[in-house]
Amino acid sequence: MRKTILAGLMAVAAAVTLTACSSGAGDASSSPSASTNASASASAAAGGNISVVGSTSVTPLMEELTKAYQEKSGVTAEIQGVGSSAGIKAATDGTAQIGMSSRELKAEEKEGLTETVIARDGIAVIVNPANSVANLTKEQVAGIFKGEITNWSEVGGEDKQIVVISREDGSGTRSAFEEIVELTKKVGDKDVSALAVDAIIADSNGAVESNVSTKENAIGYMSLGSVKPDVKAISIDGVTPSADTVKDGTYGIARPFILMTKGEGDAQANALIDFILSDEGQAIVSEDYITVN
């Protein structure tokens, strides 16, 4: 009797095992998308999240790049656009895996960091579309932002007071712009900003654009890749700002987009940077900015 019961139990167990195996094999062959989704979920869980902090000019590009990277790898990124100086500090402190800067790093900022240029960008000098001025020399730009030239009639425009719009202190765009157009002065042994005291300060590319688009006599500067039709990017020394003129060096107000990691960086950060430098990543860069390869 015991042998009969035991044999019956073994038969049931075998049947259950065969059914389970058959069911699993059927799911795998008939539903490849389920397997793919499971793989993607596992990749996302394994990849986790990358923290990226810094330049508001680099932020829109990084958002596009990390979106494409997430679709490819399942790895997400948390991006905070808080300015280049803050990005350099976050990378140095290790509070972010990647820092973003839209200006060259100063000698004292480089220690302990690995820098990677991922794109190049022009800094466009912008005016309201109603403004008749279409070209300025670099010296005239410096004179306007220093407050030495205060009326548009002094540079071929109408007899109207110039309204200067600038980025905030700590902005990579401002640092690069002031260095390139020589908008600085010596105080002791230091170079400090010579920006006009009555300049309106805006804390992002968008804020600069908004001010210039709504103030007919305003002038500002912003990332060339972020310029929209509601403002007019003017020529500098007779050269129109564009990807081609930035790349060939004829447009003189340009800067790099830099990513920074502490030391050699961790595996997550380096994998993202490798993607950005790949043909696929640089194709995304080329949509609005200048590639590095």
Give tens-digit pLDDT for 69-78. Answer: 999 999 999 9
Based on the fold, state whether residues 164 and 92 are members of the same structural domain.
Answer: no
Cβ pair 81, 54 in contact under 8 A: yes
Strand partners, 124: 222
Structure tokens at 258: 């830099």
**220 within domain boundaries:** yes
Contacts of 261 (CB under 8 A, 6+ apart): 91, 97, 98, 99, 113, 114, 116, 269, 270, 273
Based on the fold, state whether residues 164 and 281 are members of the same structural domain.
Answer: no
**171 within domain boundaries:** yes
Query: Average pLDDT in the 51-65 region?
Result: 95
pLDDT of residue 87: 97
**290 within domain boundaries:** no
**25 within domain boundaries:** no
Look at 3-12, 49-58, 75-84, 234-243 and tell me which has the smallest mean pLDDT: 3-12
**43 within domain boundaries:** no
70-107 tens-digit pLDDT: 999 999 999 999 999 999 999 999 999 999 999 999 99
The DSSP element (H or E) to which 69 belongs, if any, is helix 59-73
Query: Average pLDDT in the 200-217 region?
Result: 96
pLDDT of residue 150: 98
pLDDT band, residue 25 (cuts 50/70/90): very low
162-195 tens-digit pLDDT: 999 999 998 889 999 998 999 988 888 888 999 9
- pLDDT above 90 (res 151): yes
Based on the fold, state whether residues 109 and 84 are members of the same structural domain.
Answer: yes
Based on the fold, state whether residues 243 and 219 are members of the same structural domain.
Answer: yes
**20 within domain boundaries:** no
Determine the Cα angle at 23 with ends 19 and 27, to 5°. Answer: 175
pLDDT of residue 48: 87
pLDDT of residue 199: 98
Q: Which amino acid is at 116?
A: T
**C-alpha atoms less than 13 angstroms from C-alpha of 23 in its C-beta half-sphere:** 6
Based on the fold, state whether residues 213 and 129 are members of the same structural domain.
Answer: yes
**68 within domain boundaries:** yes
Based on the fold, state whether residues 133 and 248 are members of the same structural domain.
Answer: yes
Across the chain, mean pLDDT equals 86
Based on the fold, state whether residues 135 and 211 are members of the same structural domain.
Answer: yes
Quickly tell me which residue has 């425009």 as its tokens. Answer: 157
The answer, as to whether pTM is greater than 0.85, is: no
Helices in 230-288 by DSSP H: which ranges?
Answer: 243-247, 267-277, 279-285
Cβ pair 73, 47 in contact under 8 A: yes
Cβ pair 71, 40 in contact under 8 A: no
Based on the fold, state whether residues 183 and 223 are members of the same structural domain.
Answer: yes
Based on the fold, state whether residues 139 and 99 are members of the same structural domain.
Answer: no
**CA 226 to CA 215: how far, in whole Å?**
19
Strand partners, 125: 221
Based on the fold, state whether residues 215 and 260 are members of the same structural domain.
Answer: no
Based on the fold, state whether residues 76 and 139 are members of the same structural domain.
Answer: no
**CA 70 to CA 72: how far, in whole Å?**
5
Based on the fold, state whether residues 131 and 197 are members of the same structural domain.
Answer: yes
What is the number of structural domains in the chain?
A: 2
- pLDDT above 90 (res 140): yes
- pLDDT above 50 (res 6): no
**Domain hosting residue 281, numbered range:** 50-120+256-285
**4 within domain boundaries:** no
pLDDT of residue 196: 97
pLDDT of residue 47: 57
Quickly tell me which residue has 């992002």 as its tokens. Answer: 204
The DSSP element (H or E) to which 78 belongs, if any, is strand 76-81
pLDDT of residue 80: 97
Quickly tell me which residue has 């829109």 as its tokens. Answer: 60
CATH number of the domain enclosing 88? 3.40.190.10
Enter the DSSP assignment of 67. Answer: H
- pLDDT above 60 (res 7): no
- DSSP assignments along 173-231, one per residue: HHHHHHHHTT-EEEETTEEEE---TTPEEESSHHHHHHHHHH-TTEEEEEEGGG--TTS
- pLDDT above 50 (res 32): no
- pLDDT above 50 (res 4): no
- pLDDT above 70 (res 287): yes
158-169 tens-digit pLDDT: 999 999 999 999
